[in-house]
Structure 1
Amino acid sequence: MYGIVSVLSTLSLLSVLFGPPEIKTVQTLSWQEAKIFQLPKEPNPEAEEILQQYLRDLASKGFSPQGQGVLLQAEMTKLAFRNDKVPLSAASLTKIATTLAAVDKWGLDHRFQTRIYRVGEIRNGTLYGDLIVEGGGNPFFVWEEAIAIGEFLNRSGIKAVQGNLQITAPFYMNYKTQPEIAGQLFQQAIDAESWPEVAKKQYEKMAIKIPRPHVKISGKVLVSATQPIDSQLLLRHQSMTLANILKQMNIYSNNVMAEVLAQSAGGAQAVAQLAANAANVPKDEIQLINGSGLGTANRISPRAVIAMLAALERQLADQPLGVADLFPVAGRDRQGTTIGRKLPPNTMFKTGTLRAVSALAGILPTQKQGLVWFVVINEGSDVYELRAQQDILLRKLGQAWGSGSLNNGKPQTPHKSEVLGDPKRISAP
């Protein structure tokens, strides 16, 4: 203890005689100045100039600047934006919310099941009783699917029904949601002799060739709340996977498919709530009255649109398929809403159109900025001109930043497309 006191006393004396010891300073780099911590500027000058020119071009054509909502975003950086937090009439961008809700509820591999039953005995190719269709909510049950069921019934020994066709909801066909009308279409589909021209054309286009079915039903089409207790299962029909259904829905922007899925997922309000929670945006930025986008009362902010797409991508992070497998991609898909568009190659997109609304959202892959998430919502009566200006905007961005890849260098599993009317999706009990 005495030694420590002695040392301290000596140091104190030296300090008095010669002053405090010199402390050498070390040059340090403020953490704010380190490049790793330098956040990109918002807005990005290049993107902002392109957006300003886009808005000027719209104004020169008579479109009000107040009616335009735009957001360009790379990861968490907002490159350029206008009215990005304002809910605007989103038209079929609403289907992004429906897609998110459907994936959350069922998963990409889900298949909707339709069951066919009989009541009565089968003798010499004739069912003496009723044929029963138990719908499973398949939104993509069309001519080809019903034709394949008819051919399976023929192979199972049924060529005629001396009774009625009973329909148990939810059963939809050819985008008709009324069970009685869907049942009448099914009755036509399983008997080639009663095919309308459209059914004949769809049969000729079928990728898998099967014999024409001949199942004549002599009775009426009835809608029943439940099936008879003594019914016996004849077959199970599996729909395409939900991934394939969503891709078709979004490529063609099919309103009935979207509304069927939204209702099955709990309705418009449930879809809006789920989407807002998943996207982590205020509820008032996703206002829905249906799942299709029909009607100007469906209002979504540009920020919420991108947040929903990002939420969907996170939801699929551990899946072999990604968000780009559920929407059309420029240069890959050449049907439906892709027709007539002049977007940069590999752009994933979703369109939206009403009488005075044109909308476009998706992902633009670039070399300089990586994946650029974009939303453009335009109000104006000339939707064709608005579409053309949207395509010009995206092409200018692509030219400025270079063309990139949607998978961003990551391994990608090819999307497995399915064909309509595939008999392998039908099985006996």
Structure 2
Amino acid sequence: MLSIPQGLGSQRRFLWAGIPLACSLALGACWNNRSSAEPPSPTQGVQAEVAAPAQNPFPPIPTPPPPLPSPSGTPGLPPWWPREQSPQWQDSLYALVLSGFLQGLAAQGGALSQQGILLWTAEGELLAEHLLDRPLPVGALEQLALSLMALEKWGYEYRFQTRFYTTGHRSGQRLTGDLVVVGGGDPYFREANVAELARHLHNLGIRQIDGEVKVVPPFRLLGQPDSLASARRLAELLQDPQGPYPVAIGGSGSTLRELTEEIHCLASYTSLRLGSLLQILNGSNDRAMVEALLAELGGRTALLEYLQQRLVAQPVAHLDPKLAPAQSEIRLGPGGQELYLSPRALAHLWEHLLEATDGDPTRILPRAGIGHSTLGLRTLPSGTTAQVGSAPDRLMMVGQLPDGTHLILLNHGPDLAILRQQQDRFLQEVLAVGEPLRH
């Protein structure tokens, strides 16, 4: 603190004491004059640009954006503030990054009531959330539910078998009976597999089948809606004259409920192991493959019942208690064709998948920066493992960052290209926040 010399007279001491006040007023006047000064005329523009740094070395303070309205109407709380959360969460760096992300979404026309967001640690600690318990459409993320259900039903190493029989016998290059296909539920039986079958028939010396193609379900040629359509398509592909191994077929295609006793095995096909099939499924978002696997698992109603039992009745024990989902957070949307899940229901789904893959989600999911997959168009942190999906006005993602932070993004926005950039930037910022905390 400035001391006043005691040897001065009263008037001089008064003047000396006023020096700090005068200096403060002068500095305040300079600051106010700069902020309220009229813009320079065109003829003074160049001089003003050169002289400005010398006149005021202090940069102007940026005006913060106005706060977004709170959906709950609670005064003083920003829109991302979670319900029933500890007061310490307000000071979290993750909360600040999430707040900026939500403001960016709102600025681009995204509805805050349609933004489901969740971040949590590998230990189950909640880091940040928005609309934690609101069920939202998950689109292609339903493939994670299919993956978990399939792994728990069959196991990672399971392989589907497809067998081919005949009801007749070979006479020269002719097969007098039918070609019978006994399906095993393979969700990835493709046209390439039909070409292998045609080559095998040629190797057996068969060039013509007098009967027709008959299918014993479950069999689905990828891209076909059911077993009957698959049988007819299989017949078309086998006798395609443009193919390298055409086989003439007398009839079309039909289905059988059971096998006759007079059959002889011609060939069999063993699929890739289930884990590899799920890698293909989740890395490509192949809807035909999704429908084939879904049909083999009993349809969407069976999937819904499975999830309500698995995620609600058997929650993951190490997760924050606030992350326990209710049964109402797992449902089908209008028409019963789209799955709706809340962020915390997806969190339990993700944790169960980690357990089913022995803690290595890359066994069934793509990783950013490696290979060709749905993550190829993203600028995610290298090493991020995730499943993504899209709809006309939303993008969805579930996965984990390289530092082990788990994430769920169910975001709404009118421009998917901008929304994709916002998501990727948000995850880069989340990773940057966690870096100093880990050290």
Both proteins in one fold, TM over 0.5: yes
Distance 2:135 2:110 in 1: 18
Distance 1:40 1:153 in 2: 71
Larger radius of gyration: 2
Per the alignment, in what secondary structure is the counterpart of residue 361 of structure 1?
A: strand
The answer to whether the 8 A contact 2:333-2:340 is kept is: no
- Identify if the C-alpha distance between structure 1 residues 232 and 121 changes in structure 2 by more than 3 Å, giving closer, same or farther: same
**One-letter amino acid of the counterpart of residue 286, structure 1:** I
Q: Corresponding residue for 2:420? A: 387
The answer to whether the 8 A contact 2:354-2:360 is kept is: yes
The answer to whether the 8 A contact 1:102-1:262 is kept is: no
Match of 1:94 among 131, 142, 151: 142
Q: Corresponding residue for 1:179? A: 227
Q: Corresponding residue for 1:284? A: 328
Per the alignment, in what secondary structure is the counterpart of residue 223 of structure 2?
A: coil
TM-score in terms of structure 1 length: 0.73
Give the superposition deviation at 1:172. Answer: 1.1
Give the superposition deviation at 1:231. Answer: 1.8
Unaligned runs of 5+ in 2: 1-85, 316-324
1:239-275 C-alpha deviation (Å, 9 max, x unpaired): 1111111111111112232232223223323323333
Distance 1:154 1:252 in 2: 33
The answer to whether the 8 A contact 1:273-1:283 is kept is: no
The answer to whether the 8 A contact 2:109-2:414 is kept is: no
The residue correspondences of 1:29-108 to structure 2 (distance < 5 A) are 42=89, 45-75=92-122, 76-108=124-156
CA RMSD of aligned residues (A): 2.5
Q: How many residues align?
A: 338
**One-letter amino acid of the counterpart of residue 329, structure 2:** E
Give the superposition deviation at 1:289. Answer: 6.5
- Identify if the C-alpha distance between structure 1 residues 43 and 87 changes in structure 2 by more than 3 Å, giving closer, same or farther: farther
The reply on whether 1:332 has 2:370 as its aligned counterpart is: yes
The sequence identity of aligned pairs, in percent, is 26
Give the superposition deviation at 1:190. Answer: 3.2
Unaligned runs of 5+ in 1: 1-38, 196-211, 404-429
Give the superposition deviation at 1:327. Answer: 1.2
- Identify if the C-alpha distance between structure 1 residues 347 and 40 changes in structure 2 by more than 3 Å, giving closer, same or farther: farther
The answer to whether the 8 A contact 1:151-1:190 is kept is: no
Match of 1:350 among 370, 387, 390: 387
Per the alignment, in what secondary structure is the counterpart of residue 159 of structure 2?
A: coil
Report which of the two has the higher share of helix: 2
TM-score in terms of structure 2 length: 0.72
Q: Corresponding residue for 2:192? A: 144
Give the superposition deviation at 1:326. Answer: 0.7
Moved beyond 4 Å, runs of 4+? 39-44
Per the alignment, in what secondary structure is the counterpart of residue 304 of structure 1?
A: helix
1:12-37 C-alpha deviation (Å, 9 max, x unpaired): xxxxxxxxxxxxxxxxxxxxxxxxxx
Give the superposition deviation at 1:383. Answer: 2.6
Give the superposition deviation at 1:294. Answer: 9.2
Query: Relative contact order (C-alpha < 8 Å, sep 6+): which is higher?
Result: 1
The reply on whether 1:155 has 2:203 as its aligned counterpart is: yes
- Identify if the C-alpha distance between structure 1 residues 121 and 397 changes in structure 2 by more than 3 Å, giving closer, same or farther: same
Q: Corresponding residue for 2:37? A: none
1:126-166 C-alpha deviation (Å, 9 max, x unpaired): 11111111222111111111111221222223222122111
